């Protein structure tokens, strides 16, 4: 692939259990706050509930939809989008006049509409759940397009855990090729009983708060949230009169082609994705201030990530933020890219929550334990998905 021009990130919004905005989330991270707890939003049939990172606070999201009509994943997405649009110095009226695309990554956002069918089928005499209407209420891309009257391309990326990163990377190409003036891009996922139970059944869910990269790590904890990036063309950026918050320098995407759930042991897929992202942006490994790793807390993922980082980016500080947010699935790549921009602005990264005891197998480098300063204007955020997708974003300020 040819090297590409960086794409402007005009604004960012984020909501997760660490905070209802990006600013509040970062405050929690730097304080080292963690709030894992048993789920409240759905009944857990297990004798004792495994911890999740749930957003307990009320958040209002939309001016168009009634709260009851639209699924939580969509409300999370719209909440983050409102923050991002405001952060970009834009407004709804401005967007209505432009070619606006929407590209959102999600997992749950495409499963929940099935629940209505199932209930129909089970209850027989219940209200008929027409496929189209259920989809429109539950798909974050559709809801976003309706909310902001977007009339450009729409895409809902369902690449499991890398969906949010992939959505941002794909959206950037829409700007570069002139398909749109603006793209509302990111990821969103709510806590859902199917994914919670599914990961427990795979025996990769830790009964205690997760410990990414730690010697005693036993698996992941789920979380929920959304992050949205407003990507704009250079013309729009000039028209808005505001400097962009940052840039997307590169995007790399590969598939392990190995196993439906296990990461490729040689890490080749991740290595190739990192190299592709660096090459796309013309970035040297020495330019990377830090890496926001995927770091789920599972035995295999953390081991392979560490091996790859030690080989390709030796000496570059890295961390996992999933100890603060849980694994937010389709939202994770977007949330972690948002955190990466905020950390570059702050010139420091938080400690990798949950990491206390180094695992000799993961050395020679381990994640940072405490808040630590970083210098540089470019960071790398990587996600490794169920099914073997690897997505790497290189963001900068």
Partner 1 sequence: MYKQISNQKHQISSGSGDPLKIGIKGIGVLGGFGCGIAELERALLCGSSPQCTVAVNTLEGSLDVPALIARTDRLSEFVDKGALRRLDHYIRMALLGSYLALEDAGMIDAKLRRMGIIVATGYGSTCNMMDIQQALNNDAPLISPTRFANSVHNAAATHISILLDEMGPSLSVNDYDVSIPSAFLCACQWLREKRVEAVLVGGVDEYCRALGYNWYRRYHSEDPEKNNPADSVPEHAVMGEGACFFVLTPEADASPYGCIEAVRMGNYTRGRIDAAKDAVYFLSVDAYSEFGDPYAVYLPKETKVASYTHLYGGIPIGMGFDIAIAALSHKVGKIYVSDEGGRYHSDRLNVIRNEEPLGTGGICCLKLGAGGTLGSVQVGRF
Partner 2 sequence: MAIKEKLKHIFIETLNLEGVTPEQIKDDDLLFGDKFGLDSIDAVEIVFQVEQHFGVKIRDMKEGRPALQSVNTLAAFIEARQ
Nearer to partner 2, 5 or 262 (CB): 262
* φ, ψ (nearest 5 deg) of residue 265: -60, -30
Residue 136, binding choice from partner 2, partner 1, none, Cβ under 5 to 8 Å by partner class: partner 1
Q: How far is the CB of 184 from partner 2 (least distance, A)?
A: 36
Q: Which residues in this chain contact partner 2 in the complex, by CB under 8 A? A: 201-203, 218, 259-262
Long-range contacts of residues 344-349, Cβ cutoff 8 Å, at least 24 apart = 344/246, 344/289, 344/374, 344/376, 344/377, 344/378, 344/379, 344/395, 344/396, 344/397, 345/397, 346/26, 346/30, 347/373, 347/374, 347/375, 348/30, 348/372, 348/373, 348/374, 349/290, 349/317, 349/319, 349/374
Nearer to partner 2, 259 or 369 (CB): 259
Does 289 help bind partner 1 (rule: CB under 8 A)?
Answer: no
Nearer to partner 2, 202 or 372 (CB): 202
Residue 218, binding choice from partner 2, partner 1, none, Cβ under 5 to 8 Å by partner class: partner 2
Residue 154, binding choice from partner 1, partner 2, none, Cβ under 5 to 8 Å by partner class: partner 1
CA dihedral for 210, 218, 40, 188, sign (positive or negative): positive
Q: How far is the CB of 44 from partner 2 (least distance, A)?
A: 16
Q: How far is the CB of 47 from partner 2 (least distance, A)?
A: 10
Residue 118, binding choice from partner 2, partner 1, none, Cβ under 5 to 8 Å by partner class: partner 1
Does 171 help bind partner 1 (rule: CB under 8 A)?
Answer: no
Choosing from 41, 65, 255, 310, the residue that interacts with partner 1 (CB under 8 A) is 255
Site for partner 1 in 47-76 (CB under 8 A): 47
Per the rule left: phi > 0, alpha: psi between -120 and 50, beta: everything else, 11 is beta
Choosing from 41, 59, 89, 193, the residue that interacts with partner 1 (CB under 8 A) is 193
Q: Please give the Cα distance from 8 to 233 (Å, whole number).
A: 7
Site for partner 1 in 80-119 (CB under 8 A): 99, 101, 107, 110-111, 114-115, 117-118
Nearer to partner 1, 202 or 372 (CB): 202
Distance of CA 310 to the CA centre of its chain: 23
**276 neighbors 283 (Cβ within 8 angstroms):** no
Does 300 help bind partner 1 (rule: CB under 8 A)?
Answer: no
* φ, ψ (nearest 5 deg) of residue 209: -55, 135
Nearest to 311 by CA among 362, 252, 351: 362
Nearer to partner 2, 260 or 360 (CB): 260
Does 206 help bind partner 1 (rule: CB under 8 A)?
Answer: no
Q: Please give the Cα distance from 322 to 220 (Å, whole number).
A: 9
Tokens of 251: 């995007």
Site for partner 1 in 305-334 (CB under 8 A): none
Residue 160, binding choice from partner 1, partner 2, none, Cβ under 5 to 8 Å by partner class: partner 1
């Amino acid at each position: 692939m040819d090297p590409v021009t960086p794409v402007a990130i005009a604004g960012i919004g984020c909501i997760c259990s660490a905070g209802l905005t990006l600013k509040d989330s970062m405050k929690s991270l730097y304080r080292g706050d963690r709030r894992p707890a048993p789920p409240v939003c759905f009944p857990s049939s297990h004798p004792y509930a495994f911890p999740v990172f749930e957003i307990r606070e009320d958040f209002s999201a939309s001016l168009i939809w009634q709260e009851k009509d639209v699924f939580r994943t969509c409300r999370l997405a719209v909440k983050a989008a409102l923050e991002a649009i405001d952060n970009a110095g834009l407004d709804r009226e401005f967007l209505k006049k432009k070619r606006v695309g929407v590209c959102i990554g999600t997992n749950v956002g495409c499963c929940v509409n099935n629940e209505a069918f199932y209930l129909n089928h089970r209850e027989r005499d219940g209200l008929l759940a027409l496929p189209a209407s259920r989809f429109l209420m539950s798909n974050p891309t559709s809801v976003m397009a309706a909310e902001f009257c977007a009339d450009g391309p729409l895409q809902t990326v369902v690449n499991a855990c890398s969906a949010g990163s992939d959505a941002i990377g794909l959206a950037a190409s829409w700007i570069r090729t002139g398909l749109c003036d603006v793209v509302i891009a990111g990821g969103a996922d709510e806590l859902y009983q199917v994914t919670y139970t599914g990961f427990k059944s795979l025996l990769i869910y830790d009964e205690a708060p997760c410990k990414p990269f730690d010697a005693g790590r036993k698996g992941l904890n789920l979380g929920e949230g959304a992050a949205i990036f407003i990507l704009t063309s250079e013309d729009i950026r000039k028209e808005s009169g505001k400097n962009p918050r940052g840039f997307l320098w590169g995007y790399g995407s590969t598939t392990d082609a190995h196993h439906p759930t296990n990461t490729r042991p040689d890490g080749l897929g991740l290595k190739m994705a990192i190299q592709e992202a660096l090459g796309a942006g013309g970035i040297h490994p020495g330019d990377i201030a830090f890496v926001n790793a995927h770091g789920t807390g599972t035995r295999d993922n953390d081991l392979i990530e560490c091996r790859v980082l030690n080989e390709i980016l030796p000496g570059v500080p890295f961390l996992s933020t999933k100890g603060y947010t849980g694994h937010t699935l389709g939202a994770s790549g977007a949330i972690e890219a948002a955190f990466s921009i905020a950390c570059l602005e702050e010139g420091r990264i938080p400690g990798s929550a949950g990491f206390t005891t180094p695992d000799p197998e993961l050395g020679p480098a381990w994640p940072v334990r405490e808040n630590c300063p970083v210098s540089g204007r470019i960071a790398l955020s990587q996600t490794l998905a169920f099914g073997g997708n690897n997505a790497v974003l290189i963001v900068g300020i």
